[in-house]
Amino acid sequence: MGENLNCVLLISGGLDSTTLLHYLVKKKPYKKVYGITFLYGQKHSREIEYAKWQMDLLGMKHHYIVDLSGIAPLLREGSVLIKGSKDIPHLDTIPIAERIQPPTYVPNRNMIFLSLASAWAESLEISDVFYSAQAQDEYGYWDCTESFVARMNQVFSLNRKHRITVHAPFLNMLKKEILELGYQLGVDYGHTWSCYRGEEKACGNCPTCIERLKAFEDIGQKDPLPYMEKIK
């Protein structure tokens, strides 16, 4: 815990960060949660509306949406999530050897986001920054691991006036466990978005849709989000 009772949270509007938002607001002794969301040239920004909706629902007034769409050209060659890049693949089509860093990986994304969130925290004299990396991200994303968080905190410990600590409390939780927690907290998952494609309904077959649907199935719940009738 920091020197005051506020914290900064990376909130995308997805399932994990929305659950973490509810957890921080309802369970932890933070007075205010400052939400930060990034536009970085991703193919759609549907989830951002949901991030806003959830922040509003909880009466959290400080939500900063940072427009980084100017960085898209830096990332386009490195990720299928960026506008103008290749199509998003079905999970089954990604060779096993590629999955340690799949095409849906965005180069250095979490360091970019955490560096900006931490700068904001430092300006506001907040010490605690949260993001919702979880155990099922570990397979393919080096920036969603315990080592990553520990080493980032080693960097931040050099700050001479205001040391930031990054927290990722879901690091050892599976998505279904996060979902169970969210149901206990009363999260409305009809106002979250995971699908990498940003169409009217979720596609049901991109890697994140598959993971999401499986988590709902595992805990015996029905995802309240509409899915395309005939899954592509």
Q: Supply the minimum distance, in Å, between the C-beta of residue 203 and its own copies.
A: 25
DSSP state of 227: B
Q: Which is nearer to its own copies, 73 or 224 (CB)?
A: 73
Q: Does 108 bind its own copies (CB under 8 A)?
A: yes
* Cross-strand bridge partners of residue 202: 227
Q: Which is nearer to its own copies, 11 or 225 (CB)?
A: 11
DSSP state of 177: H
Among 57, 58, 68, 91, binds its own copies (CB under 8 A): 68
CA nearest to 132, candidates 170, 106, 166, 104? 170
Gap between the Cα atoms of 173 and 185, Å rounded:
16
Gap between the Cα atoms of 176 and 180, Å rounded:
6
CA nearest to 164, candidates 218, 223, 120, 113? 120
Among 57, 58, 71, 91, binds its own copies (CB under 8 A): 71
Q: Does 73 bind its own copies (CB under 8 A)?
A: yes
Please give the residues from 137 up to 176 whose contact with its own copies meets the rule CB under 8 A. Answer: 142-143, 145, 147-148, 151-152, 154-155, 158-162, 164
Q: Supply the minimum distance, in Å, between the C-beta of residue 216 and its own copies.
A: 29
Distances (CA, A) of 137 to 132, 142, 177, 185: 10, 8, 14, 23
Among 2, 89, 107, 198, binds its own copies (CB under 8 A): 107
Among 123, 186, 220, 230, binds its own copies (CB under 8 A): 123
Q: Which is nearer to its own copies, 4 or 115 (CB)?
A: 115
Q: In sequence order, which residues have a C-beta less than 8 Å from that of residue 46 and are 6 or more positions away?
A: 13, 193, 195, 198
In angstroms, how far is the first alpha carbon of the chain from the final one? 46
| List of residues contacting its own copies (CB under 8 A) | 64, 66-68, 70-71, 73-79, 100-101, 106-109, 111-112, 115-116, 118-120, 122-124, 142-143, 145, 147-148, 151-152, 154-155, 158-162, 164
